[in-house]
Amino acid sequence: MQTASIVSAFPFIFILLIMIVSLSKALREDYQKIAINIIKEDVLD
């Protein structure tokens, strides 16, 4: 029974890994955009 549950859950590992990678990329891009906007505001003021 344990083997069946492990084997059936195995493909979801890849889905979770892809979701983690895409989330980290999106957060990094958002952080860079926010940082650029803060720098622009400081320069303009």
Model confidence at 41, pLDDT cuts 50, 70, 90, reads confident
Give the per-residue pLDDT at 12. 95
Distance CA 37, CA 25 (A): 19
pLDDT at 35 over 90: no
**Residues 1-28, mean pLDDT to the nearest whole number:** 94
Q: Number of structural domains, the chain? A: 1
**Residues 9-25, mean pLDDT to the nearest whole number:** 96
pLDDT at 45 over 70: no
Range of 35's domain? Answer: 1-45
Of 13, 37, 33, nearest to 25 (Cα)? 33
